[in-house]
Amino acid sequence: MSDPQIAAMSRHEDEDRSAHPEMTGQVRSLWSDAWHDLLRKPSFLIPLVIVGLFVLIAIFPGLFTNADPEYAELSKSMQGPSAEAWFGYDLQGRDVFARTIYGARPSIIVGTLAVLLATLFGGLIGIIAGYAGGWIDSLLSRFTEIFLGLPYVLGAIIILSALANTRSGIGSFGIMMIVTLVMALLGWPLVTRIARSAMLAVKHSDYVQAARGLGASPVRIVFKHLLPNALAPIIVIATISVGTFISAEAVLSFLGIGLRPPVISWGVAIADHQNLMRQAAHPVLFPAAALTVVVIAFVMIGDAVREALDPKLR
């Protein structure tokens, strides 16, 4: 799923960086150019609006529906869309529209939070490894590789199966946090790899050497030169990952090891009703559509950011 692309993107990214170290010198104009570029692109603005809408839904689901997503009437089970329930009812006789609306929050929280954690932790390790070099780098690199050696799906299944103990009554928040942490745990090594190579490229670039030669303090070098330049590829990978992480969460939930009730999740809705598709498809169709739209929107934003920040394609 998400993993291979990101891996290859990162590889791609590595090359760019090392092949064009001089590009990193133009950091400020790069950022502002990228921003201006993005604001003019429909392929960025349209998905941005979509994501904005879903974020709004995630924060205030009550604005979009009056129905209670948990209220179930078995007598209405699997009834199709109607004026009363736009997306129809699910197996339990719950309002599919309401459940689709309320399903946005967990998806988005888990996706973004997992990316955030993976980026912060992975980025930090990568920057330290790249900056410090030497045995610290070796140590951190081996450590990263150990986690990188766990394939994403396999790793997630093993860890989530191992952790999937409900007894403690962890509640909705706890369930989401477990999934988030596991995804972050499997996601950070990629960020580390990218951050490390970005750091290496910048560190060896001429202007940093020059700044060092002029006697700039290490702190100044790190904050003035290294970080701003190394950040671009990290931001690119983070943006793209949000989409792929949401998709990955849905697959894990579908497999029955990701989110689970009482959390309302699109992946769970798909899993619960995919067997009934020959009877009625709407309980699968609408959550699947919502999921697809959100993921596409995030991937498109990531793609646009990458194009804007990737000097080679400009």
Partner 1 sequence: MRRSRKISAVALLAGSALVLSACGGGGEAGDDGDSQGGVQGGTVVYGACQPQNPLVPGDTNETCGGRVIDALFVAPMMYDPETAEPVPGVAESIETEDNQTFTVNLKEGWKFHDGEEVTADNFVKAWNYTAYGPNGLQQAYWFEQFEGFEDLQCPDEKCKQEPKAKEMSGLEVVDDHTFTITTTQPFSVLPNKLGYSAFAPLPDSFFEDPKAFGRKPVGNGAFKFVEWNDNQNIKVEKFADYPGTDSHPKPSIDAIDFKMYGDLDAEYQDLLAGNVDYSYQIPTSALAGEQWKADLGERAVSQPQGANQTVTWAAYHEDYSGPGAVEFRKAVSRAIDRQAIADTIFHGARAPSDGWVSPVVEGYKEGGQCGDLCQFDKDAANDLLAESEEKGYTPPKEIPFYYNADGDHKAWSEAMANSINQTLEGDFEVVAKPYPTFAEMRSDITEKKMDGFFRTGWLMDYPHIENFMNPLYKTNASANDAFYSNKELDEKLEAADAASSSEEAIQLYQEAEATLAEDMTSIPVVDYTTNAGYSEKLTNVTVTPFGWLDIYNVQVTG
Partner 2 sequence: MGRYTLRRLLQLIPVLIGTTFIIHFLVWQLPADPFDGRCGQRPCSEAFIARMNEQFHLDEPFYVQYFIFLGKMLTGDFGVSFNQVPVINLIEDAYPNTLKLALVALTIEAVIGVGAGVMTGLKRGGFLDNLVLVSSLFLMALPIVVVAFFMKYLFWAQLGWIEPNVSTEVRWSELIVPGFVLATTSMAFIARLMRANIAENSSADFVKTAKAKGLGSGRVVGVHLLRNSLIPVVTFIGLDLGNLMAGAIVTEGIFNINGVGLTIFRALSLQDATIVVPLATMLVLVYLFMNLLVDLLYGLLDPRIRYE
Other Cβ atoms less than 10 A from the Cβ of 162: the count is 10
Torsion of CA 217, 218, 224, 226, to 10 degrees: 150
Judged by CB under 8 A, does residue 169 bind partner 1?
Answer: yes
Instruction: Determine which residue in the list 95, 272, 307, 310 makes contact with partner 1, applying CB under 8 A.
Output: 272
On whether the CB atoms of residues 179 and 267 are closer than 8 A, the answer is: no
**Partner whose binding site includes residue 74, from partner 1, partner 2, none (CB under 5 to 8 Å by kind):** partner 1
Q: Smallest gap, in angstroms, from Cβ of residue 300 to partner 2?
A: 7
Q: Return the number of other C-beta atoms located less than 10 Å from residue 39's C-beta.
A: 11
What is the distance in angstroms between the CA of the first residue and the CA of the last residue of the chain?
28
Tokens linked to 256: 């029955």
288 binds, among partner 1, partner 2, none (CB under 5 to 8 A by kind): partner 2
Neighbours of 263 (CB within 10 A): 23
Residues in contact with partner 2 by the rule CB under 8 A: 1, 3-5, 7-8, 11-12, 15, 142-143, 145-147, 149-154, 157-159, 161-163, 165, 243-244, 247, 250-251, 254-255, 267, 270, 274, 277, 288, 291-292, 295-296, 299-300, 312-313
Q: State the Cα–Cα distance between residues 310 and 313, nearest whole angstrom.
A: 6
In the complex, minimum distance from the CB of residue 166 to partner 1, in angstroms, rounded to a whole number: 6
CB 243, min distance to partner 1, A: 23
Min separation Cβ 254 and partner 1, Å = 8
The answer to whether the beta carbons of residues 284 and 269 sit under 8 Å apart is yes
Instruction: Closer to partner 1 by CB, 50 or 177: give it.
Output: 177
By the rule CB under 8 A, 260 interacts with partner 1? yes
Of residues 33 and 70, the one with the C-beta less far from partner 1 = 70
Least spacing, CB of residue 111 vs partner 2, in Å: 12
- Tell me which of 28, 29, 42, 75 binds partner 1, using CB under 8 A: 75
Which of 139, 146, 164, 210 is the binder for partner 1 (CB under 8 A)? 164
Nearest CA among 234, 258, 255, 246 for reference residue 309: 234
Pick the closer one to partner 2 by CB: 67 or 160. Answer: 160
- Nearest approach in angstroms of CB 261 to partner 1 is 7
Site for partner 1 in 214-253 (CB under 8 A): none
CA count, 13 A, side-chain hemisphere, 28: 2
Least distance (Å) between residue 132 CB and partner 2: 18
**Nearer to partner 1 among residue 51 and residue 271 (C-beta):** 271
283 within 8 A of 78, measured Cβ to Cβ: yes
DSSP state of 173: H
Cβ neighbours of residue 232 closer than 8 Å, sequence gap 6 or more: 27, 30, 31, 198, 309
Q: Is residue 79 at the binding interface for partner 1, with CB under 8 A as the rule?
A: no
Q: Which of 227, 276, 281, 293 binds partner 1 (CB under 8 A)?
A: 276
Is residue 204 packed enough to be buried (19+ CB in 10 Å), middle (13-18) or exposed (0-12)? exposed
CA angle in degrees (0–180, nearest 5) for 81-82-88: 35
Alpha-carbon distance of 155 to 242, in angstroms, equals 19
Positions in the binding site for partner 1 (CB under 8 A): 70-75, 77-78, 91-93, 161, 164-167, 169, 254-257, 260-262, 271-272, 274-280
